[in-house]
Chains A and B, each alone.
Chain A
Amino acid sequence: MTGASKPQFARRRPRSLSDYFYDPKTRGVVLQILVALLLVYFISEIVSNTIRNLEEQGIASGFGFLDRTAGFDISQSLIPYANTMTYARAFLVGLLNTLLVAVLGIILATLIGFVIGVARLSKNWLIATLAGVYIETLRNIPPLLMLFAVYFGVLKNLPAPRKSLELPFSSFLNVRGLYVPAPQWEAGMSVVLAAIAAAILGIVFLNWRARRIRIQTGALKPVVLPSLLLLIGLPSAAFLATGMPVTFDVPELGRFNLKGGMVVLPEFIALVAGLTLYTAAFIAEIVRSGILSVPKGQSEAAAALGLKESHAMRLVIIPQALRVIIPPLTNQYLNLTKNSSLAVAIGYPDLVSVFAGTVLNQTNQAVEVILITMGVYLTISLLTSVLMNWFNARMALVER
């Protein structure tokens, strides 16, 4: 100890345990750890309790059943499926059927919703009123009833297979569905596919160049017409050059059903139509509110700048309306996806019908099957949200 190193601050009294007890920060940390531990304990207790109870009741558990033979048939499958394949394969078939309905439903509902939403704002009284009636009626009917109405309403009015309605291109419509010729690809088809890919690349390049020229010189280059020419011309040329490498398997009348061709099941049509019409009513309201949210001054300012009305809509109104539209639109997309599980009521083989229905019944492993099913819906919903959030961030007003 040399006298020179004098302590700058008075030495603090050593902290006792009670100090820690009354220190809000320490207390906060300790409590949080306690709560976290409790939560972990709670969850592990639920899991171990379930497992123990399943064992005690002699119920099989584990995920080994996925490798066993399914043994049942599915009426619609996007991938090859036979009843000798595994439960895992049946799961995949159901999942793809669900995704097909969800994606198609989302696209159609968005299109119809935008048209109806804009129609509701129309200056034409008849159009606006019709759109209003559509929205108010469909929005207020439970989706399940809607599906029943579409399914059984449509089924009752379609003819029996032997009296099928003949449509153009050797297609038939009857109570079993819509039968269309199935294209059979032959050797040269890969060239045509390559041509389509090349056309898409070309269009991307055209757009990129037009944009660059516009930014650099201000000159507007035509984009739409050349793009269309490219998209139609290139594949058609390839198609003709390779000698039309496609034949059609045409449906023909068998004893009960039409044989051959592709069939679009009435359950599928009813499900997509029902969900689309129902969700479109909500989307229409969202679109209307979005457009109304843009102040009138914006369109007036656009007009004052000399923009055409269509340009004003595309460049000024819609981008601002989208900021209001996208978040609730995401909700509707999620709703549509989740509502697609109502398929089980009208006999469409979606994930819930195939997996949480037939597979659950045959394996009796309710806990595992329901967990997987919930996990799938959760994942689909979260992915949709992530995608829409990204889109929303891109559309958000950039403030400078």
Chain B
Amino acid sequence: MRYWLAAGLALLAGFGPGTGPAAAQSSTLDAVKARGQLQCGVNTGLAGFSAPGEGGIWKGLDVDICRGVSAAIFKSADKVKYVPLTAKERFTALQSGEIDVLSRNTTWTMSRDTSAGLNFAGINYYDGQGFMVKKSLDVVSAKELSGASICVQTGTTTELNLADYFRSNKIEYNPVVFEKLPEVLAAYNSGRCDAFTTDVSQLYSIRLTLGNPKEHIVLPEIISKEPLGPAVRQGDPQWANIVRWVLFAMINAEELEITQGNVEEMKNSKNPEVRRLLGVEGEFGAGIGLDNDWAYQIIKLVGNYGESFDRNVGAGSALGIARGQNALWKNGGLQYAPPIR
């Protein structure tokens, strides 16, 4: 009996005020370093953005953000544990600390950035929502979809955009909402829906996986702005800075024409901007708690933004998406990174 009393008292003492959440306060960078691994939330499988390739190696534009962060911290791009997440699970995974970075074609919206406990670190792909229909339907514009059934995946910004678009155009439609992509596609394939709607980049990626891609067309209407980017938990500005500047370093590297191939030579460049980015001059690594060659490691191990885009979703890939809005600002696109100085 005395042991019981003692145990009860010990339990009581253990529950003293303020002991609970203290662990959550420590810095994410320290936690990642101590673990020796970055935990990165990615898509369960979206060719070009994040999908396991041969031998289970993850590849894609979003995966390259994880690899970039890993390169900056560990000087190795492979110290990443990829956590595949559905659209519905992703924010909870980040909020609960199961992952350190969410790099899963996630749209930056105000409510997510403010009241969901997330911070977006930047935009690695400018996207918009569109529709895919079967060619045999003879539809050339989304405005012709009156009375159509439209398949949607839940857990995304898609449902709301869809409702907004049809409401403002006063068109009737029937949504069919599924939780997982395979079921959405099965329903679309079986003719349950006339159209399938999601971000255009995804439509192109998914079209490749359908039996005969030529039987499907993506309609020209873009009904929303979908700036996709990596997100981190609120409350750790240093960690948000690391992820943000990994992305900026990749974009700046493209602008300065530093590639995986020439990064060694570029270290001897006379251009002060290049020298600062590669850590030859200045102490910029210290500002984010990393070594001075952090950007050098990213470019050497992962490449610049243009290289990543090209090999994953651009001309060098099966998707063949044009740079369009994702070209550098000086080439008429939207990708623009603040300078390193």
Which of B88, B149, B156, B183 is A257 in contact with, Cβ under 8 Å?
B149
A52 at the B interface (CB under 8 A) = yes
Beta-carbon contacts of A50-70 to B below 8 Å, as 1s and 0s? 001110111110000000000
How far does the alpha carbon of A362 sit from the alpha carbon of B160 in the complex, in Å? Answer: 8
B322 at the A interface (CB under 8 A) = no
Cβ–Cβ contact A358 & B177, under 8 A: yes
- Residues on the A chain within 8 Å of B234, using CB: 57-58
Looking at the assembled complex, report how far the CB atom of B340 sits from the nearest CB atom of chain A, in whole angstroms. Answer: 28
Chain B count of residues within 8 A CB distance of the other chain: 56
- Residues on the B chain within 8 Å of A360, using CB: 88
How far does the alpha carbon of A142 sit from the alpha carbon of B228 in the complex, in Å? Answer: 37
- Residues on the B chain within 8 Å of A344, using CB: 154, 178-179
A184 at the B interface (CB under 8 A) = no
Beta-carbon contacts of A19-62 to B below 8 Å, as 1s and 0s? 00000000100010011001001100100010011101111100
Cβ–Cβ contact B190 & A152, under 8 A: yes
Which of B24, B149, B177, B235 is A357 in contact with, Cβ under 8 Å?
B177
Cβ–Cβ contact B163 & A83, under 8 A: yes
The residue on B at minimum CB distance from A37 is: B12
Query: Among A71-79, A226-234, A301-309, which stretch is in contact with chain B?
Result: A71-79
Cβ–Cβ contact A71 & B149, under 8 A: no
Query: Among A123-131, A235-243, A346-354, which stretch is in contact with chain B?
Result: A346-354
The residue on A at minimum CB distance from B159 is: A72
Which of A53, A57, A266 is B192 in contact with, Cβ under 8 Å?
A266
Cβ–Cβ contact A357 & B15, under 8 A: no
A156 at the B interface (CB under 8 A) = yes
Near A by CB (< 8 A), chain B positions 154-211 give: 154-156, 159-160, 162-164, 166-167, 173-180, 183, 186-187, 190-192, 194
A209 at the B interface (CB under 8 A) = no
Q: With A57-B234, A155-B192, A256-B145 as known contacts, state yes or no: A75 contacts B177, CB within 8 Å.
A: yes
A255 at the B interface (CB under 8 A) = yes
The residue on B at minimum CB distance from A352 is: B179
A345 at the B interface (CB under 8 A) = yes
A380 at the B interface (CB under 8 A) = no
How far does the alpha carbon of A347 sit from the alpha carbon of B11 in the complex, in Å? Answer: 47
How far does the alpha carbon of A27 sit from the alpha carbon of B175 in the complex, in Å? Answer: 63
- Residues on the B chain within 8 Å of A42, using CB: 15
A364 at the B interface (CB under 8 A) = yes
- Residues on the B chain within 8 Å of A111, using CB: none
A160 at the B interface (CB under 8 A) = yes
B263 at the A interface (CB under 8 A) = no
Looking at the assembled complex, report how far the CB atom of B171 sits from the nearest CB atom of chain A, in whole angstroms. Answer: 11
Which of A45, A59, A255, A346 is B20 in contact with, Cβ under 8 Å?
A45
The residue on B at minimum CB distance from A370 is: B92
Which of A83, A155, A362 is B190 in contact with, Cβ under 8 Å?
A155
B44 at the A interface (CB under 8 A) = no
How far does the alpha carbon of A257 sit from the alpha carbon of B150 in the complex, in Å? Answer: 12
How far does the alpha carbon of A53 sit from the alpha carbon of B160 in the complex, in Å? Answer: 29
Which of A45, A75, A175, A358 is B174 in contact with, Cβ under 8 Å?
A75
- Residues on the B chain within 8 Å of A297, using CB: none
How far does the alpha carbon of A41 sit from the alpha carbon of B180 in the complex, in Å? Answer: 40
How far does the alpha carbon of A344 sit from the alpha carbon of B176 in the complex, in Å? Answer: 10
How far does the alpha carbon of A344 sit from the alpha carbon of B88 in the complex, in Å? Answer: 12
A314 at the B interface (CB under 8 A) = no
Cβ–Cβ contact B117 & A49, under 8 A: no
A388 at the B interface (CB under 8 A) = no
The residue on B at minimum CB distance from A175 is: B191
- Residues on the A chain within 8 Å of B4, using CB: 31
B115 at the A interface (CB under 8 A) = yes
Chain A count of residues within 8 A CB distance of the other chain: 52
The residue on B at minimum CB distance from A160 is: B191
Q: With A52-B21, A259-B147 as known contacts, state yes or no: A59 contacts B115, CB within 8 Å.
A: yes
Q: With A74-B175, A347-B177, A353-B179 as known contacts, state yes or no: A155 contacts B163, CB within 8 Å.
A: no
Q: With A58-B235, A176-B192, A347-B187 as known contacts, state yes or no: A75 contacts B117, CB within 8 Å.
A: no
B111 at the A interface (CB under 8 A) = yes
- Residues on the A chain within 8 Å of B95, using CB: 57, 59, 366
B8 at the A interface (CB under 8 A) = yes
Interface centre among A42, A58, A148 (most CB of B within 10 A): A58
A267 at the B interface (CB under 8 A) = yes
- Residues on the B chain within 8 Å of A353, using CB: 154, 177, 179
A254 at the B interface (CB under 8 A) = yes
- Residues on the A chain within 8 Å of B149, using CB: 176, 256-257
- Residues on the B chain within 8 Å of A362, using CB: 111, 159-160
A170 at the B interface (CB under 8 A) = no
A379 at the B interface (CB under 8 A) = no
B116 at the A interface (CB under 8 A) = yes
- Residues on the B chain within 8 Å of A84, using CB: 167
Cβ–Cβ contact A256 & B183, under 8 A: no
- Residues on the B chain within 8 Å of A31, using CB: 4
B120 at the A interface (CB under 8 A) = no
The residue on B at minimum CB distance from A58 is: B234
Cβ–Cβ contact B183 & A347, under 8 A: yes
How far does the alpha carbon of A361 sit from the alpha carbon of B87 in the complex, in Å? Answer: 9
Cβ–Cβ contact A349 & B235, under 8 A: no
Near B by CB (< 8 A), chain A positions 254-277 give: 254-257, 259, 266-267
Near B by CB (< 8 A), chain A positions 132-146 give: none
Looking at the assembled complex, report how far the CB atom of B141 sits from the nearest CB atom of chain A, in whole angstroms. Answer: 13
The residue on A at minimum CB distance from B144 is: A255
Cβ–Cβ contact A257 & B148, under 8 A: yes
27 CB-based A-B contacts, threshold 8 Å = A38-B12, A57-B234, A59-B116, A71-B164, A72-B159, A72-B163, A73-B159, A75-B175, A75-B177, A83-B163, A84-B167, A176-B174, A255-B146, A256-B145, A257-B148, A257-B149, A257-B174, A344-B154, A345-B179, A347-B151, A353-B154, A357-B177, A357-B179, A358-B177, A362-B111, A362-B159, A363-B111
Question: Which residues of B approach A to under 8 Å, CB–CB?
Answer: 1, 4, 8, 11-12, 15, 20-21, 24, 87-88, 91-92, 95, 111-112, 114-117, 137, 144-149, 151, 154-156, 159-160, 162-164, 166-167, 173-180, 183, 186-187, 190-192, 194, 233-235
Question: Which residues of A approach B to under 8 Å, CB–CB?
Answer: 27, 31, 34-35, 38, 41-42, 45, 49, 52-54, 56-60, 71-75, 83-84, 148, 152, 155-156, 160, 175-176, 254-257, 259, 266-267, 344-347, 349, 353, 357-358, 360-364, 366
Q: Which 7 A-B pairs have the closest CB atoms?
A: A364-B116, A60-B115, A59-B117, A57-B117, A58-B234, A155-B190, A256-B148
Known: A38-B11, A41-B12, A59-B116. 9 other contacts (CB 8 A): A31-B4, A34-B8, A35-B8, A57-B95, A152-B190, A256-B149, A346-B183, A349-B177, A366-B92
